[in-house]
Structure 1
Amino acid sequence: MRRSSRWAELRRALRDDAGSASLEFLTVGVLLFVPLVYLSLSLGQIQHAVLGIEGAARHAARVIAAADGHDEGLAAADRAIRVALADAGLEPAAAEVAISCAPAAGDCQTPRGTVSVQVDATVPLPLAPPVLALDVGMGVPVSALASQPVSAFGGAP
């Protein structure tokens, strides 16, 4: 009978759940906490880049509309875009910029015209390795479009 009592004690010990709830809580908590932290980091980085890209488009449209000449406006817009993207932590070479003027007279200083600037870029995700051994990591495409009217009295206010 001695042998059966040992097996009974062992079965009772294995069935006893005392203390396992805290271990389960810690395991599930860590498994849920890591993705939540990564999601927070990713959304923060994407929002930071979106604000930078929106600022780049807005400032570029403003400086083109307020410039004294077309070439001066484009040079000032290039500087504004580079500064805004650098502040957002993005490479200026990675952004695509499209500038359009209405009416399409080839010159963005047409009185009562409109200057539109669109900036497109891809925001890299934090800690994301390059995909398929390429040099490009995973990212989220973002874009911004800004329009600015040109003064009725010319480009300069």
Structure 2
Amino acid sequence: MRDDTGSSSLEFIAVGVIMLVPLLYLVIAVGSVQEQSLGVEAAARQAARAIASAPDTAHAAARADQVLEGIVAEYGIDPGAIDVGVACRPDSSPCPAAGATVVVTVSTSVPLPLVPGVLGLDQATSVPVEAVSVQKVSRRWSGG
């Protein structure tokens, strides 16, 4: 007969490590994606508010850029990977316009942690994140 004394603790450690490493990676990856999605959502919401509350078109663009720069820095979003789209509903020539609804769409791609850049694996395993925010512009907006 073989003596199995002490082998249960060794098995527990081996199985624990095998199960803990993927679980820890999953927590880190989900946390990274969640952080970026909160940043993208905040960027869309605050940019829409900044555009809708600006006194004119020139200030609207400057305020939106300033808000986006701050949020990109705060949430650690890659500035080169962020896409911002601004549209007005109903479609109007100067956007924003009095009484229009400003629609701001912000999107980016979140690379998963610890994925190497070899053969484009980092791009293939990235998670796309997008947020859309709408804000009504005042009917009394000057727009000048």
Normalised to the residue count of structure 1, the TM-score between the two structures is: 0.82
* Residues 1:79 and 1:42: Cα distance change in structure 2 (over 3 Å): same
**Does the Cα contact within 8 Å between 1:65 and 1:149 map onto a contact in 2?**
yes
| CA distance in 1: counterparts of 2:127 and 2:141, whole angstroms | 39
Indicate yes or no: 2:64 matched with 1:77.
yes
Identical positions, percent:
44
Give the gaps of 5 or more residues in structure 1.
Answer: 1-11
Q: How do residues 55-66 of structure 1 correspond to structure 2 at under 5 angstroms?
A: 55-66=42-53
Query: Which amino acid in structure 2 is aligned with residue 70 of structure 1?
Result: T
- The residue number in structure 1 matching 2:6 is 19
Aligned partners of 1:37 and 1:135: how far apart in 2? Answer: 19
Contact kept? 1:111, 1:154, Cα under 8 Å: yes
Partner of 2:54: 67
Question: 1:135 & 1:31 partners in 2: Cα distance?
Answer: 24
Counterpart among 123, 133, 141 of residue 146 in structure 1: 133
Alignment of 1:1-157 (within 5 A): 12=1, 15-132=2-119, 136=123, 138-154=125-141
In 2, the alpha carbon distance for the partners of 1:126 and 1:106 equals 43
Who wins on radius of gyration, i.e. which is larger?
Answer: 1
- State the superposition RMSD in angstroms: 1.9
Q: Give 3-state SS (helix, strand or coil) of 2:29's partner.
A: helix
The TM-score normalised by the length of structure 2 is 0.89
Structure number with greater CO (CA < 8 Å, separation at least 6) is 2
4+ long deviations beyond 6 Å: none
Tell me how far apart the structure 1 counterparts of residues 111 and 121 of structure 2 sit (CA, whole Å). 14
Q: How many residues align?
A: 143
Q: Is the 8 A contact 1:61 1:146 kept in 2?
A: yes
Deviation, structure 1 residue 136: 4.6
Show structure 2 runs of 5+ residues with no match. none
